[in-house]
C-alpha cells in the first residue's frame, strides 16, 4: 500500500523565454515548491481555471507569447484565486497598473529573492490551510 504524499504549495511560472522559465522552475523546485510552467498567458489562464485554488504564487513576465500580457494575467489570476501571490517582472516599465497586492520586480532580479518569496508565500499558505482544517472551537 502506498503512502500519501503531503500536499505541497504550487507555483505557476509564466515566461516565454525557455531559459529564464527553466531557471526559475529549477530555483523553486529546490525550495520544495511544485511548479507548473507556461509560456503564454492563455495557457496559464487554463491552469488557473482548472487548479487555481491550489496555486500559491504566480510569477509572470509582462511580455509573453500570445495576445495577453502578464499584467492582464495578474488580474485574471486574482479572479480565480484572490489570495494568490502575484509577481510581475519586466526589464521595461509597466504598461498598466497592477492589481492590489501584486508585486513588480524589475529585471534583473536576484535568484535568492525568488526562493525567499516562494518560501514566504508557501509558509503563509500552509498556515492558512492548517487553520481551515481545524474544527471550530
- Confidence class of residue 71 from pLDDT cuts 50, 70 and 90? very high
Question: Could you list the residue range(s) of the whole structural domain that residue 94 is in?
Answer: 10-130
Q: Decide if 64 is inside a domain.
A: yes
H helices of the chain, where?
18-30, 41-51, 70-80, 111-133
Strand order in the sheet with 103-106: 34-38, 10-14, 55-61, 85-90, 103-106
Write the burial class of residue 99 (CB in 10 Å: 0-12 exposed, 13-18 middle, 19+ buried): middle
Provide the CATH number for the domain around residue 101. 3.40.50.2300
Q: Decide if 72 is inside a domain.
A: yes
Q: Decide if 1 is inside a domain.
A: no
pLDDT, tens digit (0-9, with 9 covering 90-100), for 2-61: 554 556 789 999 999 999 999 999 989 887 789 999 999 999 999 999 987 889 999 999
Amino acid at each position: 500500500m502506498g503512502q500519501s504524499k503531503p500536499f505541497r504549495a504550487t507555483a505557476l511560472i509564466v515566461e516565454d523565454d525557455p531559459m529564464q522559465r527553466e531557471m526559475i522552475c529549477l530555483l523553486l523546485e529546490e525550495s520544495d515548491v511544485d511548479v507548473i510552467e507556461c509560456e503564454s498567458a492563455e495557457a496559464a489562464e487554463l491552469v488557473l481555471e482548472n487548479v487555481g485554488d491550489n496555486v500559491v504564487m504566480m510569477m509572470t513576465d509582462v511580455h509573453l507569447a500570445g495576445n495577453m500580457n502578464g499584467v492582464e494575467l495578474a488580474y485574471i489570476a486574482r479572479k480565480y484565486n484572490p489570495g494568490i501571490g502575484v509577481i510581475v517582472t519586466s526589464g521595461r516599465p509597466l504598461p498598466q497598473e497592477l492589481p492590489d497586492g501584486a508585486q513588480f520586480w524589475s529585471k534583473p532580479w536576484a535568484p535568492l529573492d525568488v526562493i525567499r518569496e516562494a518560501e514566504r508565500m508557501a509558509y503563509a499558505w500552509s498556515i492558512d490551510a492548517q487553520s481551515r482544517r481545524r474544527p471550530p472551537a
